[in-house]
């Protein structure tokens, strides 16, 4: 189990970086976790635009312990990382950076907690296995979604996208994972047989045409978006009477794995009394979601 003598170390500053970042709920999740663990650590949201990451990293002081990364920085950070975990290496996507000192110098260790977060969120929604998964979009999160599909036991993954060359790395990743990946253009989709659909599209994305009705009626849609909500894809699914799960579960569970990394330096090392930590994080997220719904309503 984790040794919380880490609380006595001076490296106790963390943040989530990205752009835009105002909507991020990572601070409330992480702060709830550290309060429950009795750690006097700070965690903020910092606007860092594409092209500005190198400057930000160059100014980090020893008090910094770790970073969470969102768009557009998950690939941009790769040249600055000293070592990556296997998931980050395969997906080419880092959303968690642990700052350490090795032999007197600072090093950056990269992790991808999105895959574990997605698998855990799907399981919480009752999806623990799938043979055929469809991915919407081929952006930064698509590789993580493909790896999650492989962990569900998927043999086939259909990727619906607009830019085939951009999606080609997903075919190569599929080969490494033992999954057959088929690329299809959104505008030419006529029929897709799938157990689960994972949308990696931004919440405001408008598809060129609705996806097949039978797919929306039958397959569970897991939409990684959560703001704005409902997304255009989710609205289309709901109109067809289909089952929709938003991305808050993924956000919660990937954040829990991030907390493991920041506290124990190991994404597989459970936290002390981890169920209560997860409950505290879920409670903070639920209260925040409820207050936002009340304001927006």
Q: What contacts 180, CB < 8 A, 6 or more positions away?
A: 155, 156, 157, 174
Does the active-site annotation cover 22? no
**Is residue 85 a contact partner of residue 110, using CB atoms and an 8 Å limit?**
yes
Q: How many whole angstroms separate alpha carbon 134 and alpha carbon 140? A: 16
**Is residue 114 a contact partner of residue 95, using CB atoms and an 8 Å limit?**
yes
The residue behind tokens 């405001």 is 204
Q: What contacts 122, CB < 8 A, 6 or more positions away?
A: 128, 148, 152, 196, 222, 245
Q: Which residues is 17 bridged to in the sheet?
A: 46, 69
Q: How many whole angstroms separate alpha carbon 141 and alpha carbon 69? A: 12
How many CB atoms lie under 10 A from the CB of residue 262?
27
Q: What is the DSSP string of 6-50?
A: GGGSS--EEEEEESS-TT--HHHHHHHHHHHHT---EEEEEE--T
Q: Catalytic pick from 22, 49, 59, 74?
A: 74
**Is residue 72 a contact partner of residue 50, using CB atoms and an 8 Å limit?**
yes
**Is residue 274 a contact partner of residue 259, using CB atoms and an 8 Å limit?**
no
Which residues are known to be catalytic?
A: 74
């Amino acid at each position: 189990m984790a040794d919380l003598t880490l609380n006595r170390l001076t490296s106790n500053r963390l943040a989530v970086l990205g752009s835009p970042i105002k909507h991020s709920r990572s601070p409330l999740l992480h702060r709830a976790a550290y309060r429950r663990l009795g750690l006097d650590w700070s965690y903020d949201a910092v606007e860092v635009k594409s092209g500005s990451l190198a400057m930000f990293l160059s100014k980090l002081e020893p008090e910094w312990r770790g970073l969470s990364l969102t768009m557009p920085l998950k690939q941009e950070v790769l040249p600055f990382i000293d070592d990556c975990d296997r998931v980050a290496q395969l997906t080419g996507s880092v959303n968690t950076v642990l700052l350490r000192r090795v032999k007197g110098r600072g090093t950056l260790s990269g992790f991808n907690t999105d895959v574990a977060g997605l698998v855990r969120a799907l399981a919480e929604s009752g999806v623990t296995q799938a043979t055929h998964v469809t991915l919407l979009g081929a952006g930064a999160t698509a590789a993580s979604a493909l790896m999650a599909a492989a962990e569900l036991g998927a043999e086939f993954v259909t990727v619906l996208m607009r830019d085939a060359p951009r999606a080609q790395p997903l075919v190569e990743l599929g080969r490494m994972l033992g999954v057959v990946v088929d690329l299809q253009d959104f505008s030419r989709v006529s029929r897709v047989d799938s157990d689960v659909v994972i949308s990696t599209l931004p919440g405001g994305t408008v598809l060129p045409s609705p996806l097949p009705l039978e797919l929306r009626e039958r397959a569970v849609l897991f939409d990684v978006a959560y703001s704005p909500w409902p997304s255009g894809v989710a609205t289309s699914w709901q109109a067809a009477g289909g089952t929709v799960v938003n991305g808050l579960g993924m956000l919660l569970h990937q954040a829990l794995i991030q907390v493991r990394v920041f506290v124990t330096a190991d994404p597989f090392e459970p936290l002390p009394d981890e169920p209560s930590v997860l409950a505290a994080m879920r409670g903070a997220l639920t209260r925040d979601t409820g207050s936002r719904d009340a304001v927006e309503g």
